[in-house]
Structure 1
């Protein structure tokens, strides 16, 4: 079965384009159904994170142009706006790409662990809405197995440096002693959980967690001795915090320039450090133009990321070797499955011919036919029908110069190579 992966990521597209192509959780069911209908693929899945949007399709090798048009149309764009940023992987390359993504080898922060969970969520969403089948199920599960092996057999996961860690590391460039600062975390997902953990380890003791649902905000805040609030309460706390890190799935900005301007007047020029990890962005880009505001996005953390890459180059090479092994193992499994399917068809055809010849023989016996004659006829008829089509195809292949077909026939039936014809031999000599 054909496998195709299309996508954009942090290497091929700027943040402005990535946020336009991101899928919100609310629209993913609609997107999965629309993608399968537009592409003609049997199975589809969608991965959408702050750094990438990828579409996985099985069953239609010629779907790329249709998918490009669908993706652009779904997000209200022209296909030409995506063409230069879009990459396409097929078959073995698509398998390799998925495994590299799951292992964090294609991430902005090399080896970051969050993408593994995000890929599992993408698979679970596709399964829940009935857009995966046996092929993508097998691929995802094998990919997860390879990614886990990489985590346990290489050092790529040691001292993990995630985007959340990078964001907290950058805070030290603004504030020398984080224990004196108060943090506002917007969102309560896995990324913000990591941010809270790293901030706490860095010495931050005062937290406010804002989220759409209060229970979730209070639960995360309580783990770090902080306070949970709903998103609408943010303006009331804005002037009292120094660090703001946001990561939600909101399709629209949560924190606007006006609210920050009003808070700055109360702060008397005390600086803000802000990191917007979300795609689409949670903080209006215009906030960056305000004095005493240091606003960063995921694309601004290159120096932390480059240091991370240098420290993990050896582990990355080991991981790449494990990916190569994983790809080969998956392809071997597919070939074995294909052989099983072919053998089932072959056996079924032989059994159908057997049943036809047996029925003919039984009719002959019921009509008073001589048993020995009927049995010989059965054997002859079955042999002729079993060998007719293979014989025709071998002769055809030989005429076309495909001698390997004859070699395969000898190997399959353990036949000796024919002896050279004496007349031909003498002429050759």
Structure 2
């Protein structure tokens, strides 16, 4: 079983390209159906976050370029443009890559924990669409196990470093006393939940949470003593907030330049701090051109993140050792699965040949044949049929110089090496 991973991330592609390659929830069913039909892979999974889009495949063929062309066509992109940003990992490298992703070692924020939940969601989505089989399921489960060990056995997660934490850290540079500021959080997913926690730790006590579903917005806001509203209510409250942080899965911007311009008129030069964590973006990029607005995207957070991540570099080296061990464990399991399938075929063939000889013997007995003669003939027949094809293949391999086949045969059947069979390694003396 061959494994393949194709993807782009924050290191290989700018935000503009990443947001064009992102998969929206509404198109996932279409994507899975088209991907499996096009690639020919028996198993598939798709991970799509603000910092990466990755496709995981298991099958018998190397279909990297086929998938690249499909991905380009699905999103209406130029294949060459996407190819320049694309990375491909195969087999052991694909296994190691998923484990590094799950452990947060391939993230913009080294060791950030959100990616593990996102990878679990990708696995669940693949199962919901009947796209994940034995091989990918085992790879996901092993990756989750390794990621848990990395979390518990290293200091990779001791310091609170994440995109959410970096966003709040930047807000501290704009506002000297954040207890006086009111925050509007757009979205109600895990990232916004983490943002709310970090804002509360920084002193913010006034929260508004806007979401497409009011119940979810209210639940998250009330946990922080705030209020939940619908997305359509944002223009009415925008003038009263100072901090706007957004992270939704919307394919189109939620907050436009016009709405922010209108809100600014009554603020008397009080600054806005805005962070758009979403891919595709929730806040129109043109908002950044307005006076008194400090707008940042996930890419703008990179410098803050790099400063906070240095403390985790030693733990990352320990984590890499755990990942190497986890990779070897998984590959051993995969080889064992292949061995089981081969042994099953071997046994089925042996039983088929046995049954042929048994039926032949029974016919002879029904016709009055001597039982002892029939049994001896049946034994010879089974032996000859079982050994015929292997004997031909061993002779062929030996004549071609593949002497390891003979050694394997001796090992498999625990045959002793006879002196006459040993090939001398030094010339005989004359």
Bin for the TM-score computed over the shorter chain? over 0.9
**Separation of aligned partners in 1, 2:246 and 2:337:** 46
Once structures 1 and 2 are overlaid, which stretch shifts more, 161-170 or 53-62? 53-62
Q: Which runs of 5+ in 2 are unaligned?
A: none
The equivalent of 2:79 in structure 1 is 79
Q: What's the CA shift for 1:56?
A: 0.7
Q: What's the CA shift for 1:411?
A: 1.0
Q: Which runs of 5+ in 1 are unaligned?
A: none
What is the aligned length? 429
**Separation of aligned partners in 2, 1:153 and 1:271:** 43
Q: What's the CA shift for 1:76?
A: 1.3
Runs of 4+ in 1 over 4 A off after TM superposition: 421-427
DSSP-derived class of the 1:104 partner:
coil
**Separation of aligned partners in 2, 1:207 and 1:420:** 87
Once structures 1 and 2 are overlaid, which stretch shifts more, 194-203 or 136-145? 136-145
DSSP-derived class of the 1:173 partner:
helix
Q: Cα gap change, 1:291/1:60 in structure 2, threshold over 3 Å: closer, same or farther?
A: farther
The equivalent of 1:261 in structure 2 is 261
1:49 aligns with 2:55: no
Q: Cα gap change, 1:225/1:326 in structure 2, threshold over 3 Å: closer, same or farther?
A: same
**Separation of aligned partners in 2, 1:228 and 1:414:** 73
Q: What's the CA shift for 1:191?
A: 0.5
The equivalent of 2:417 in structure 1 is 417
**Separation of aligned partners in 2, 1:343 and 1:33:** 33
Q: What's the CA shift for 1:304?
A: 2.0
Once structures 1 and 2 are overlaid, which stretch shifts more, 334-343 or 104-113? 334-343
1:98 aligns with 2:93: no
**Separation of aligned partners in 2, 1:425 and 1:282:** 74
**Separation of aligned partners in 1, 2:382 and 2:315:** 60
The equivalent of 2:361 in structure 1 is 361
The equivalent of 1:184 in structure 2 is 184
The equivalent of 1:30 in structure 2 is 30
CA contact (8 A) 2:181 2:243 kept: yes
CA contact (8 A) 1:7 1:86 kept: yes
The equivalent of 1:400 in structure 2 is 400
1:71-100 deviation per Cα after TM superposition (whole angstroms, max 9, x unaligned): 111111121220100111111100110010
1:428 aligns with 2:428: yes
**Separation of aligned partners in 1, 2:425 and 2:210:** 90
The equivalent of 1:370 in structure 2 is 370
Q: What's the CA shift for 1:291?
A: 1.0
CA contact (8 A) 1:19 1:280 kept: yes
The equivalent of 2:248 in structure 1 is 248
Q: What's the CA shift for 1:279?
A: 0.2
Q: What's the CA shift for 1:129?
A: 1.1
The equivalent of 2:154 in structure 1 is 154
1:262-320 deviation per Cα after TM superposition (whole angstroms, max 9, x unaligned): 11111111111100000000000000111111100000112221123210011100111
**Separation of aligned partners in 2, 1:229 and 1:209:** 6
**Separation of aligned partners in 1, 2:232 and 2:340:** 59
Give the TM-score normalised by structure 2: 0.97
**Separation of aligned partners in 1, 2:125 and 2:256:** 32
Q: What's the CA shift for 1:427?
A: 8.4
1:136 aligns with 2:136: yes
1:350 aligns with 2:350: yes
DSSP-derived class of the 1:185 partner:
strand
Q: Cα gap change, 1:382/1:198 in structure 2, threshold over 3 Å: closer, same or farther?
A: same
**Separation of aligned partners in 1, 2:206 and 2:73:** 45
Give the aligned CA root-mean-square deviation in angstroms. Answer: 1.6
CA contact (8 A) 1:44 1:126 kept: yes
Q: What's the CA shift for 1:426?
A: 12
Give the TM-score normalised by structure 1: 0.97
1:308 aligns with 2:308: yes
1:228 aligns with 2:217: no
**Separation of aligned partners in 2, 1:106 and 1:242:** 33
Q: Cα gap change, 1:273/1:408 in structure 2, threshold over 3 Å: closer, same or farther?
A: same
**Separation of aligned partners in 2, 1:425 and 1:418:** 16
**Separation of aligned partners in 1, 2:164 and 2:413:** 62
Q: What's the CA shift for 1:52?
A: 0.2
CA contact (8 A) 1:18 1:52 kept: yes
Q: What's the CA shift for 1:159?
A: 2.4
The equivalent of 2:388 in structure 1 is 388
**Separation of aligned partners in 1, 2:287 and 2:8:** 27
The equivalent of 1:340 in structure 2 is 340
Q: Cα gap change, 1:233/1:426 in structure 2, threshold over 3 Å: closer, same or farther?
A: closer
CA contact (8 A) 2:161 2:309 kept: no
